[in-house]
Amino acid sequence: MSFLDKHIEDLKSAGVYRTLPVNEGPCEAVIKLDGREVINLTSNNYLGFANHPRLVAAAKKAIDTYGVGAGAVRTIVGNMDIHERLDDVIARFKREEAALVFQSGFACNAGVIQAITDKDDLIISDALNHASIIDGVRLSKAARAVYQHNDMADLERILKTKRDQYNHVLIITDGVFSMDGDIANLPDIVRLAKQYDALTYVDDAHGSGVLGESGRGTVDHFHLHGQVDVIVGTLSKAIGVVGGYVAGSKTMRDWLLHRGRPLLFSTAMMPAAAAAIIEAFEMLSTTTAHTDKLWENARYFQGRLKTLGFDLGVTQTPITPIIIGDETKTMAFSKRLLEHGVFVSGIVFPTVPAGKARIRCMVSALHARAHLDKAIAVIETTAKDMNLI
Ligand SMILES: *Cc1c(COP(=O)(O)O)cnc(C)c1O
């Protein structure tokens, strides 16, 4: 493997080489990272469910009932009643006809896109779609086109020039874009899809548990129930556990039980995970307190950073990028923040375009006002020291 040494040297000389931080306890507002207590502004644990006592209790109880493993893929004998119940709970929460759980959001995109498209079809994908969508599209036999990020004129240009040459056309977008925090223009995407007879596919990984009534997602946020053909979500972010799901028609679910390859060839989700997730949806169904707290914290944090003169880009969600531009400076900024007890990851090319490096702060419902105030103070003094503001 020594041919990789040169690539690793390149990363080091570009200042973007990293080692993995080690969290020695649960994912909380304050974590013990590599032996030191730091404020955690990095996780996707938006609602604080990853270590919530109700989810933990549900998982423990399920271990006593089901053990720790499902024992096989869902299509053989790994399909436990708790998996079926979870599918139903998600369908009801999302207000869709049916839902089907996969082992992760990544597995969902890897399986669903190829299963519902064929060689005579065209997939049209937003330029900033998540890596798992890009890989999912690569697994499909369909032709591909990419439209400029959230640019409806460009999407329409592709539909206008290419629609007639294909059987089905599938438009795929993230619901919320994870690096900038902006929301897809779903109403116009749905309108164009109707006009040009295309199907729509929304990956709502960062919208589920965040946007819409009690976190019902981007489709609910725009009141588009019944108008998006495929809704994908993750159970690994706001829901706090692990897994992914697709929600939509019963027909689609039925087909995916036969052609969703991660479902056919990878073991079913741990039953305790399913139990914890069911508890999470139960909590979201009975109160909006969790999502309310998340948004209250996000508004406070972003408002203070804007007042200090930081460039937060185009975010419309709790995802809070602080755009620095220069990659080396960004990594140095992130490192200095950590030295002062605030953990925020630096994000550089190729995850974001070159010259658009940023630190990305992830606010959650777990943060107390004091955590946010301390983080803001450290971000301010460090940025001033480095002449970033
Ligand atoms: C995080 C993410 C995924 C992957 O979800 P996992 O459950 O962590 O595999 C898929 N799509 C998008 C848009 C994401 O942000």
- Catalytic: which of 52, 237, 356, 367? 237
**178 in contact with ligand 1, CB cutoff 6 A:** yes
- Catalytic: which of 206, 221, 290, 356? 206
133 CA closest ligand 1 atom index: 11
Give the per-residue pLDDT at 18. 82
**218 in contact with ligand 1, CB cutoff 6 A:** no
The answer to whether residues 188 and 196 touch, using CB atoms and an 8 Å cutoff, is no
Q: For this structure, is 306 an active site residue?
A: no
From CA 209, how far away is CA 205, in angstroms rounded?
9
The 3 state secondary structure assigned to the chain is CCHHHHHHHHHHHCCCCCCCCCECCCCCCEEEECCEEEEECCCCCCCCHHHCHHHHHHHHHHHHHHCCCCCCCHHHHHCCHHHHHHHHHHHHHHCCCEEEEECCHHHHHHHHHHHHCCCCCEEEEECCCCHHHHHHHHCCCCEEEEECCCCHHHHHHHHHHHHHHCCCEEEEEECECCCCCCECCHHHHHHHHHHCCCEEEEECCCCCCCCCHHHCCHHHHCCCCCCCCEEEEECCCCCCCCCEEEEECHHHHHHHHHHCHHHHHCCCCCHHHHHHHHHHHHHHHHCCHHHHHHHHHHHHHHHHHHHCCCCCCCCCCCEEEEEEECHHHHHHHHHHHHHCCEECEEECCCCCCCCCEEEEEECCCCCCHHHHHHHHHHHHHHHHHCCCC
- What is the value of pTM for the model shown? 0.96
Return the residue whose CA atom lies nearest to atom 14 of ligand 1. 205
**174 in contact with ligand 1, CB cutoff 6 A:** yes
For ligand 1, the distance from its centroid to the CA atom of residue 387, given in whole angstroms, is 35
For ligand 1, the distance from its centroid to the CA atom of residue 227, given in whole angstroms, is 22
pLDDT tens digits for the chain (389 residues)?
Answer: 999 999 999 989 877 788 899 999 999 999 999 999 999 999 999 999 999 999 999 999 999 999 999 999 999 999 999 999 999 999 999 999 999 999 999 999 999 999 999 999 999 999 999 999 999 999 999 999 999 999 999 999 999 999 999 999 999 999 999 999 999 999 999 999 999 999 999 999 999 999 999 999 999 999 999 999 999 999 999 999 999 999 999 999 999 999 999 999 999 999 999 999 999 999 999 999 999 999 999 999 999 999 999 999 999 999 999 999 998 899 999 999 999 999 998 998 888 888 999 999 999 999 999 999 999 999 999 999 999 99
**356 in contact with ligand 1, CB cutoff 6 A:** no
**40 in contact with ligand 1, CB cutoff 6 A:** no
How many other CB atoms are found less than 10 A from the CB of residue 26?
12
For ligand 1, the distance from its centroid to the CA atom of residue 242, given in whole angstroms, is 10
For ligand 1, the distance from its centroid to the CA atom of residue 342, given in whole angstroms, is 25
Give the per-residue pLDDT at 349. 85
Question: Which among 204, 230, 237, 319 is the best mutation to test ligand 1's pocket, defined by most ligand atoms within 8 Å of the CB?
Answer: 237
176 CA closest ligand 1 atom index: 13
174 CA closest ligand 1 atom index: 13
Return the residue whose CA atom lies nearest to atom 5 of ligand 1. 105
For ligand 1, the distance from its centroid to the CA atom of residue 43, given in whole angstroms, is 13
Q: For this structure, is 6 an active site residue?
A: no
- Catalytic: which of 125, 132, 140, 178? 178
Q: For this structure, is 266 an active site residue?
A: no
